[in-house]
Amino acid sequence: MPSHHKDHDNHFATMNFILIVLTLALSAFAQRIDISLPTSGQSLSLGRNFTVRVEKGRTLTGSTEVGIGITLAHCSQNTCEDTNERLGAILYAGPFSPQNGAGDFVPFQNFTVQVPPSFQTGKAVLSVAHASLVGAGPFFFSEIANVTVRLK
Ligand SMILES: *[C@@H]1O[C@H](CO)[C@@H](O)[C@H](O)[C@H]1NC(C)=O
Ligand SMILES: *[C@@H]1O[C@H](CO)[C@@H](O)[C@H](O)[C@H]1NC(C)=O
Ligand SMILES: *[C@@H]1O[C@H](CO)[C@@H](O)[C@H](O)[C@H]1NC(C)=O
């Protein structure tokens, strides 16, 4: 085969690869969750229940939820330490089934969880670890979202 054909084939393969990567990246992006409650800096009381509202972006790519974990970690520095490998106390672990709200709201689910009564007061990071199976493959997608709160 003349070499320019080969170049053309390689080029085509590269373009295809880029397209596949872009599509995966976009569909993964659309699967991301957002913590809309509590809000950043919100005060929460030890021993009290509060709502964690988890939103999921709308998407054309189908996905099957595996579940989420909601965790809480005390911050010992003013700029909270990275909590990705030290998520803290588990407040919830189990199914995630976001439902459409009224109006234009993206699908979301409310979780009622309790601040552990004997937790340290001060700044803390609330994390939501999320896993799902995305697309026709499907591929495994996971992420950790977080919000900083104040415990009193
Ligand atoms: C919160 O999430 C962001 C984005 O993933 C990350 O960069 C940051 O380190 C996390 N914060 C903490 C305190 O773990
Ligand atoms: C979710 O929680 C928020 C805050 O507590 C509340 O305003 C809202 O009505 C709840 N929505 C549903 C569908 O439970
Ligand atoms: C707090 O939340 C727990 C777990 O969801 C629930 O069993 C309990 O009834 C709630 N307590 C109050 C006072 O709402």
The pLDDT tens digits for 36-72 are 999 999 999 999 999 999 999 877 678 899 999 999 9
pLDDT of 58: 74
pLDDT at 6 over 90: no
For 91-134, how does the pLDDT look when each residue is reduced to its tens digit (9 = 90+)? Answer: 999 999 999 877 767 899 999 999 999 999 999 999 999 999 99
Query: Which ligand places an atom closest to the C-alpha of 88?
Result: 1
Residue identifier of the C-alpha nearest atom 2 of ligand 2:
110
Domain boundary assignment for the chain: 31-151
Tell me the CA distances in angstroms from 132 to 10, 27, 50, 61, 138, one per residue in order. 33, 12, 25, 12, 9
82: Cβ below 6 Å to ligand 1?
yes
pLDDT of 122: 95
Centre of ligand 2 to C-alpha 84, Å, is 28
Domain 31-151 listed as CATH 3.40.50.300: no
74: Cβ below 6 Å to ligand 2?
no
pTM for this structure? 0.82
42: Cβ below 6 Å to ligand 2?
no
In angstroms, the CA 47 to CA 3 distance is 72
